[in-house]
Amino acid sequence: MQSFRSEIENPLVEKDILELEQKIRLFKEGKVDEERFRSLRLARGVYGQRQLGVQMVRIKIPYGKVTSEQLHRISDVSDEYSRGRLHITTRQDIQIHYVSLDRTPELWSQLEKDDITLREACGNAVRNVTASETAGIDPKEPFDVTPYAHATFQFFLRNPICQEMGRKFKMSFSATDDDTALSFMHDLGFLPKIKKVGDKEIRGFKVLLAGGLGSQPRHADVMYEFLETDLLIPTIEGVLRVFDRYGERSKRAKARLKFLVKDLGLDSFLTLVEKEKRALAYQSYPIDTTDFENEITFQTTEVPTVEIEDQQEYETWRSTNVLAQKQEGLFAVGIKVYLGDFYTDKARQLADLVKQYGANELRFTLRQNILIRHVREDFLPFFYTELKKLGFAEVGYDSLADITACPGTDTCNLGIASSTGITVELERVLKSEYPQYLHTKDVTIKISGCMNACGQHNMAHIGFQGMSVKSGNLVAPALQILLGGGVLGNGEGRFSDKVIKVPSKRGPEALRVLLNDFESNKEQKEDFLAYYDRQGKTYFYDILKHLSSTDNLTPDDFIDWGTDKNYVKAIGVGECAGVVIDLIATLLFESEEKIENAIEAIQEEKWSDSIYHSYAAIVNTAKALLTSEGSKTNTHASIIKNFDTVFVETNKVELESSFADLVYQINQNEPTEEFAKLYAEKAKNFYHKVDAFRKVAVES
């Protein structure tokens, strides 16, 4: 374990990995409780798996971009520490499964050699910043959003304001008004806009706030119709600060930003964001885009000679899988990745192909696919033949036959029914019985193994959610069928209606009923959503009702897709962003660590970071004392209010002012060196006062 230390050039990264290694050891020795350890490892991309004794490791890939070198590195790590399989998520990450906990620090250190991180890929932090895979090449885009997504990723990685929030926080950048990055279902979503002022064009974003999926989907509010790009980072920071302070922390089901904004109201929330401006390190944060404007270069100009065996097959592939870029003469090639899973042997060959004959760039997509960018037209036949050898030339990229699905019961603790197994069967049905839909890109099918919507089932035209159904004393796997969701564009979208629940083995027949009815009864040029609206939810319930009966189940209905064993409903504890159960001693220990972080930040002249570490230490210390009294600690704001009520106003703890006055200095002062030092000293003094009070209380 010591070997990686000398190989890591970034001291922040080295500290992170060493901390993970240390906490694993302390956890094994019983010196760190399980809940606290879970929080730490989740923030470092290490996620509990359905199978005991192994972990899923999520690799954070900002906006899905990887080079050949990075894909080789990820493949090497998967072979060494896992089983050689790579899984693309709906947030453009890569997951590898069946990793030993003890080896995760070493795995992380290997990834960092090619600038790949696990940091904040899971847990109550800012998750991977996603973006349209066509950003930078889309003919319809106002400008390339990639540098803005990258700047957002960099600014908030390890940022103290978003390390221990009540829940996860998700952001996306769409390339165009088509909104392929799904802004309306994110905590913050951004759509590029251009405003003309005289002869000058100003870049900005339409900003969507507090959307989300899950069991209670919420359409995002329009926060701003136009926000200039230099205000992007300060605005995000303001939102995060308010979410951190006022967001729910005890009731996990209510801890997302969408519930906070719904409870406060948009105007009140924006007022709180405005109040945070004084505390921000940057009132304006111009983003340099020059690194993303370099000329596209290629390693070779010589076109390899190939012979296309089936010209019609090639033309079909080109019509469904090849996209013209805004750069003249260049094309993007879409690879349909079955269930988002591919293997390291083919990943390496793909990486070599892209480096030698492309421009050394791939992007993982939000629909669990791969997009090769910057392919010259003369090279398309060669790419087709090489991809076909790898099994990567299947037609229907991003079509109705390209189904999105989460891992479900394969590896996820929360999986109720198999999402991958039913996906295999539905794609088989589509390919063999409905080949015309290989060209249909305006209808989507999405599948989740539970209500949490990792497969985004409740925003699909046709969605399936894993459930169970009772038949007497027996339980069978089932699918909730949802219809009528979709992306409308420019930040508008709609969520699906729950129509009916059917046993899982009847899922394929349900799909046949829906598609056959659509083909037979749609009006000329009527799309699926218009057809659904015209017919109405009850109509679809009626045509599917015969499939929902549980009186006539066969033995096969009690066996889920992809398995040969009888179904058992087994749901574990989800770790998507689990709320931590804190012990008082652990909380006080953490406060010490936060004060140390504040002092280190001062030494590094990071005034804003230091101030936020001090703030976190003060609130965390108060939480420890309130916890000992059984008092409410579900938000930072309630901690601040209740500490005054329980301890200050009763003179149990004497302060120079109210506790609220002490804490809220954070948003009443600019982040200067003087205030950073003063606030750190106040945090330290408050900690010592509370620690002394606690020791007296324990001894008495």
Q: Model confidence over 63-117: pLDDT tens digits?
A: 999 999 999 999 999 999 999 999 999 999 999 999 999 999 999 999 999 999 9
- Whole-number CA gyration radius for the chain: 26
d(C-alpha 413, C-alpha 202), whole Å: 47
Query: What is residue 470's predicted lDDT score, i.e. its pLDDT?
Result: 86
Query: What is residue 99's predicted lDDT score, i.e. its pLDDT?
Result: 93
> CA angle, 244 as apex, 243 and 245 as ends, to 5°?
95
Amino acid at position 667, single letter: N
Residues (pLDDT < 70) of the chain are 1-8, 413, 569-583, 698-700
Token code pair at residue 561: 């897709």
d(C-alpha 182, C-alpha 174), whole Å: 7
Asked if 87 contacts 94 with a C-beta cutoff of 8 angstroms, the reply is yes
Distance from chain centroid for Cα 694: 40
Buried b (16+ CB within 10 A) or exposed e, 561-590: bbeeeebeeeeeebbbbbbbebeeebbbeb
Q: Identify the residue whose tokens are 């001693």.
A: 585
According to DSSP, the residues that pair with 467 across neighbouring strands are 478
Asked if 382 contacts 398 with a C-beta cutoff of 8 angstroms, the reply is no
Q: Identify the residue whose tokens are 């007022």.
A: 271
Number of other residues whose CB lies within 10 A of the CB of residue 610:
27
Helix 104-112 and helix 68-81: axis angle, to 10°?
160
| C-alpha closest to that of 119 among 173, 159, 64 | 159
d(C-alpha 415, C-alpha 406), whole Å: 9
Query: What is residue 582's predicted lDDT score, i.e. its pLDDT?
Result: 38
d(C-alpha 536, C-alpha 532), whole Å: 6
| C-alpha closest to that of 169 among 256, 68, 67, 75 | 256
- Report the mean per-residue pLDDT for the chain: 91
Query: What is residue 442's predicted lDDT score, i.e. its pLDDT?
Result: 86
Query: What is residue 512's predicted lDDT score, i.e. its pLDDT?
Result: 96
Query: What is residue 573's predicted lDDT score, i.e. its pLDDT?
Result: 47
d(C-alpha 445, C-alpha 448), whole Å: 10
Query: What is residue 45's predicted lDDT score, i.e. its pLDDT?
Result: 85
pTM: 0.91
d(C-alpha 177, C-alpha 200), whole Å: 22
What is the sign of the dihedral through the CA atoms of 687, 693, 697 and 700?
positive
**Torsion angle of C-alpha atoms 304, 309, 311, 317, degrees rounded to 10:** -70
Can you list the alpha helix ranges (DSSP code H) found in 578-672?
Answer: 584-603, 607-628, 636-643, 659-663
Asked if 130 contacts 116 with a C-beta cutoff of 8 angstroms, the reply is no
Domains recognised in the chain with CATH numbers: 2-112 (3.90.480.20), 130-291 (3.30.413.10), 295-389 (3.90.480.20), 404-558 (3.30.413.10), 584-699 (1.20.120.330)
Beta strand 370-376 pairing with 362-364: antiparallel
Helix 11-28 and helix 104-112: axis angle, to 10°?
170
What is the sign of the dihedral through the CA atoms of 629, 635, 639 and 641?
negative
d(C-alpha 463, C-alpha 457), whole Å: 4
Asked if 582 contacts 627 with a C-beta cutoff of 8 angstroms, the reply is yes
Token code pair at residue 579: 């709320």
What pLDDT digit, counting tens, does each position of 644-671 carry? Answer: 999 999 999 999 999 999 999 999 999 9
d(C-alpha 475, C-alpha 193), whole Å: 51
d(C-alpha 372, C-alpha 134), whole Å: 10
Q: Would you call 42 exposed, middle or buried from its count of C-beta atoms within 10 A (0-12, 13-18, 19+)?
A: buried
Amino acid at position 5, single letter: R
Query: What is residue 646's predicted lDDT score, i.e. its pLDDT?
Result: 94
d(C-alpha 134, C-alpha 180), whole Å: 9
